[in-house]
Structure 1
Amino acid sequence: MSQRTIQRRKLIPSVQETGTFDLLVIGGGINGAGIARDAAGRGAKVLLCEKDDLASHTSSASTKLVHGGLRYLEHYEFRLVRESLIERERLLNIAPHIIWPLRFVLPHDKGLRPAWLLRLGLFLYDHIGGRKELPATRTVDLRASPHADVLERRLVKGFEYSDCWVDDARLVALNAMDADAHGADIRTRTECVALERGDKVWTATLRNANNQTEHITARAVVNAAGPWVDNVLGRAIPGKEHQNLRLVKGSHLVFPKLFDHDQAYIFQNKDNRIVFAIPYEGAFTLVGTTDQAFDGDANVIEISDEESAYICDAINEYLDKDVTPSDAVWSYAGVRPLYDDNSRNNSTVTRDYVFELDSPGDAPPILSIFGGKITTYRKLAEHALQKLAMPWLDPQQTWTASKALPGGDLPGANFARFLAAMEEQYAWMDSGVLRRLCRAYGSRVPLVTGDARSWADMGQDFGGGLTEREAEYLIAHEFAQSAEDILWRRSKLGLHMSGKEREGLQRWFAKREAVPTQ
């Protein structure tokens, strides 16, 4: 920590005494959580408010990849791809428990992009981002195992390249946890219902889930509200039209495992889009995504019959065994809050992030964020703080590129070595459950298990490998407040549990909340 930061901490009274923050962040998705973490780590007094749970919307509805965006090369977005590829390996090193390498197979299909173009694109993909750790592209024979029994026989040649998988909702939670560890005030289920600009500070009205309101002041505001960014701007700057967003809906289907190997597929479609088929949660295959214009209620988003048919038709062009929407065991959908660049096609709208800074004269600023990708969230946070140019934050005091996220401080960032050591320590635990815990919590697994020396010590078994101790950990450390928070965002254990088991966790929450606190 710089001497400048230490001096500022001494000069500013605590938030509890003044009610004044350096920075109010509105939105608990990946961009908001990343900015809160970065700013708090530089010594700023930060409050983050999210009207629902962390990662309730866009940030838990992604294809769950840390990647450069191979198809963005076709749209000449070289800066975005380069920045994304550089960030890919940085994120892999600071969160090796929730992010791991994945090999993708891109079949060449006659009548679509020619093989030379695919190879050229992959050559660029391998080199413009300074790849150091991930394996390079290679040509594969699709007539050989393991692809011969998966793909249609007309497919002979393909290309295998590297990207990374990420647990998107956990990435948000870990950033919020680290922000909290650096002194940020994280308020979930708390909506900013009013913003009023004064001469020196903003006054914000916050309303929590119990309909209680509170007024706080902040020297600057970051509007990272995702699909609601224009709504927040309307409250902050009334009387001015705010129509900067283009909402694009993306949906996914989850099937029982469609192939047994651990590689993913990227399939080209005749409409020039691509669809991924990715190993998911051990027993499933995740397939998506779609690109549809969206103008409905962003609080309620579901996959449509049209999208389900599109996804199935797309992968059935490649898979030897066809699937139907009725084969899916789960689906999810979200909207991408993209900056409207007037592109005709939803799939070609830029995925790059765009800032809008409103700071007339000496008035306190508000920075609104449009677009962005999970992969570039950390760099976006650095750029956002630089853009705000808050005089008490040193723009050179960047720190998040090398500091591990909670649980990510594994020796040598080597997950396999870490897992082997944990298997010795937890010989009494089912190996599948232990592996999941290690993937979810990394070096924090001992905080989850506490002094447990047997499975019985873990408390009530809810099913799917979820225990009372883990649930209590998520409530105490990761801002979970409901069964849904745990089953579908802090984990995907809802996929592995029966309806009866999920109801059991809901009853446990209800009983827990009914007990008066001491």
Structure 2
Amino acid sequence: MTSEHKIVDLMVVGGGVNGTGIAMDAAGRGLSVILCEMNDLASATSSNSSKLIHGGLRYLEHYEFNLVRKALAERESLLKNAPHIMWPMRFRLPHQSHLRPAWMIRTGLFLYDHLAKRELLAGSNSIRFTPDGPLVDDIVKGFEYSDGWVDDARLVVLTAKAAETKGAQIKTRTRCVKATRDGQLWNITLEDQRTGERQSYHCRALVNAAGPWVSSLFSDTMTIPSPKQIRMVKGSHIVVPKIHNEPEAYILQNADDRIIFVIPYEDDFSLIGTTDVEYEGDPKKAVISPEETDYLCSIVNHHFKHKITPADVVWSYSGVRPLMDDEHGAAQKASRDYTFEVDGGKTDAPLISVFGGKITTYRKLAEAATDRICRFFPEAGPEWTKHAPLPGGDFSEQAALLDALKAEYRWLPDDLAKRYVRTYGTKSYDILIGRTSTESLGQHFGANLYECEVRYLVEHEWAISAEDIVWRRTKIGLRLKDADVKNLQAFLDTFD
């Protein structure tokens, strides 16, 4: 079944961080926007990152000063706009002189401190490690610097929510199966991936923000050549019970010139990654290999007293990063910068295609792309996102919000209140409105996941499956049993 719909200004294909960023920015400038995503929001690359808001210290070695400068500047903006899902983090870099001399690291950290203005984050310094610390005894000195942590999947969902608030239509589980130009309009066919129903739309401009599928969308959907090719690189991470009790993250150097992060994660775990492996095939099917797991364990064991094995891994994930293809060099040297190509515009409906990018610069990418789009819409409003809080982010400090939430809901368990603040910010009140006790939260699915939260995620954040909830809207999957997840899915099936 196919039905006709009115003309919209902009159709965005891709529900990752770049697509939702562009949809949010464009909708806020007054354009009518539809975003379609063939799966769940953030279901691919954007939920499988190292979960860092960082300038990219190692990119300085590859002379990507412009990328690092942009990323450093964006850290501060993002940390202010989403204090519930992002916060500052200190990183410790153990020094091993046979890998990089101290002067080189000091120079890099000096640039890191001064390439962009800092207001929230402390500068770098040298440190000495003591025998009672978590590192092996022969590592005695190192460095500290600041970056930020982010819940990557929630960043995407909240950006989509902000786009919807500004008037955008967000269509998940909806695939763009055909896009053809007809003069100054694009004819678009979208297919509901659950029902098979097709709908036809017309739009004045089209954005291809399909991430790892950006090139294939040209051949499969538009049947025109892609102006650029991407290089698909798989990055894998493992999660293990925490290997130290310190609040700092560690950045570990390795003899192959790669670096590995060890990041405090969800209170009780350590997140370790990432690898860089050339990848071919369906990005959705990317999984960690035994060799990657062994590699990550080996580097951790070389640095830490607490040793880990593949048997300690409680969860792993792999994401395929769509990097710009420079046709040479190792995977870790491929640029993380972004570009976008514009086709058409005078007599033909414009097409904007996004290539590359990283989470830290997503807002800047979206702003630059929307600036370019708005050349075709002279009535559009000005830039606006730099100082705009994401939904739930209209507060300054997590501790103060936690105190306020606990003061109003004194019966709320401490760990649940803390998780709500770190997940929903001020939107926690929307979940708890009218609740007077733990029992009033509804059915309990395990690990402090209650019916009222599940209903909120279904009704307001496009959650459909148990996987959407336990791995993207939250990370409760780390604590739930298989039977709990099946019970949750059975409950969600009643919504259909």
Global fold match (TM > 0.5): yes
Q: Deviations over 1:37-87 (max 9, x none)?
A: 000011100000000000000000000000100000111111111110110
Q: Quick check: 1:165 aligned with 2:152?
A: no
Partner of 1:441: helix, strand, or coil? helix
Matched AA of 2:10: L
Structure 1: distance between partners of 2:98 and 2:295: 19
Q: Quick check: 1:90 aligned with 2:77?
A: yes
Structure 1: distance between partners of 2:377 and 2:343: 19
Q: Deviations over 1:177-229 (max 9, x none)?
A: 01011110100000000001011100010000210001001100110001111
Q: Is the 8 A contact 2:4 2:200 kept in 1?
A: no
Q: Is the 8 A contact 1:42 1:393 kept in 2?
A: no
1:290 to 275, 293, 299: 275
Tell me what 1:323 maps to.
308
Tell me what 1:174 maps to.
158
Tell me what 2:386 maps to.
401
Q: Quick check: 1:42 aligned with 2:29?
A: yes
Matched AA of 2:277: Q
Tell me what 1:378 maps to.
363
Structure 1: distance between partners of 2:5 and 2:277: 46
Segments of structure 2 that go 5 or more residues without pairing to the other structure are none
Tell me what 2:484 maps to.
501
Report the CA distance shift for 1:31/1:23 in structure 2 as closer, same or farther (over 3 A): same
Tell me what 1:4 maps to.
none
Q: Is the 8 A contact 2:4 2:199 kept in 1?
A: no
1:435 to 415, 418, 429: 418
Shift of 1:343: 2.9
Structure 2: distance between partners of 1:283 and 1:241: 45
2:115 to 128, 131, 152: 128
User: Matched residue pairs, number?
Assistant: 493
Structure 2: distance between partners of 1:394 and 1:76: 39
Tell me what 1:516 maps to.
none
Structure 2: distance between partners of 1:72 and 1:509: 43
Segments of structure 1 that go 5 or more residues without pairing to the other structure are 1-15, 514-518
Shift of 1:236: 5.5
Q: Is the 8 A contact 2:86 2:149 kept in 1?
A: yes
Tell me what 1:351 maps to.
336
Tell me what 1:455 maps to.
438
Tell me what 1:306 maps to.
291
Tell me what 1:10 maps to.
none
Tell me what 2:207 maps to.
222
Structure 2: distance between partners of 1:395 and 1:324: 55
Tell me what 1:79 maps to.
66
Structure 2: distance between partners of 1:396 and 1:507: 45
Report the CA distance shift for 1:75/1:292 in structure 2 as closer, same or farther (over 3 A): same
Q: Is the 8 A contact 1:44 1:393 kept in 2?
A: no
2:241 to 256, 269, 273: 256
Shift of 1:394: 5.9
Q: How does 1:52-201 map to 2 (within 5 A)?
A: 52-143=39-130, 148-201=132-185
Shift of 1:99: 0.3
Tell me what 2:190 maps to.
206
Q: Is the 8 A contact 1:195 1:235 kept in 2?
A: no
Matched AA of 1:106: L
Tell me what 2:473 maps to.
490
Shift of 1:359: 1.2
Q: Deviations over 1:247-276 (max 9, x none)?
A: 000000000111111110000010111000
Tell me what 1:7 maps to.
none
Moved more, 247-256 or 503-512: 503-512
Report the CA distance shift for 1:204/1:166 in structure 2 as closer, same or farther (over 3 A): same
Q: Is the 8 A contact 2:29 2:381 kept in 1?
A: no
Q: Deviations over 1:424-453 (max 9, x none)?
A: 122201101100001111011110112001
Q: Is the 8 A contact 1:28 1:49 kept in 2?
A: yes
Shift of 1:239: 4.9
Q: Quick check: 1:421 aligned with 2:421?
A: no
Q: Is the 8 A contact 1:234 1:242 kept in 2?
A: no
Partner of 1:19: helix, strand, or coil? strand
TM-score, with length taken from structure 1: 0.93
Matched AA of 2:138: R
2:15 to 1, 19, 28: 28
Partner of 1:227: helix, strand, or coil? helix
Shift of 1:240: 3.0
1:478 to 448, 461, 481: 461
Matched AA of 2:483: K
Structure 1: distance between partners of 2:225 and 2:231: 18
Shift of 1:357: 1.5
Structure 1: distance between partners of 2:339 and 2:218: 15
Moved more, 189-198 or 321-330: 321-330
Shift of 1:168: 0.2
Structure 2: distance between partners of 1:240 and 1:24: 20
Off by >6 Å, runs of 4+ in structure 1? none
2:264 to 266, 279, 304: 279
Tell me what 1:464 maps to.
447
Q: Is the 8 A contact 1:385 1:395 kept in 2?
A: no
Identity of aligned residues (%): 48
Tell me what 1:9 maps to.
none
Structure 1: distance between partners of 2:264 and 2:90: 11
Q: CA RMSD in A?
A: 1.5
Shift of 1:396: 6.9
Q: Is the 8 A contact 1:197 1:236 kept in 2?
A: no
Shift of 1:363: 0.3
Structure 1: distance between partners of 2:291 and 2:108: 31
Structure 2: distance between partners of 1:243 and 1:308: 32
Structure 2: distance between partners of 1:234 and 1:360: 21
Structure 2: distance between partners of 1:241 and 1:469: 45
Report the CA distance shift for 1:372/1:241 in structure 2 as closer, same or farther (over 3 A): closer
Partner of 2:202: helix, strand, or coil? strand
Report the CA distance shift for 1:398/1:316 in structure 2 as closer, same or farther (over 3 A): same
Q: Is the 8 A contact 2:178 2:222 kept in 1?
A: no
Shift of 1:460: 0.4
Partner of 1:303: helix, strand, or coil? coil
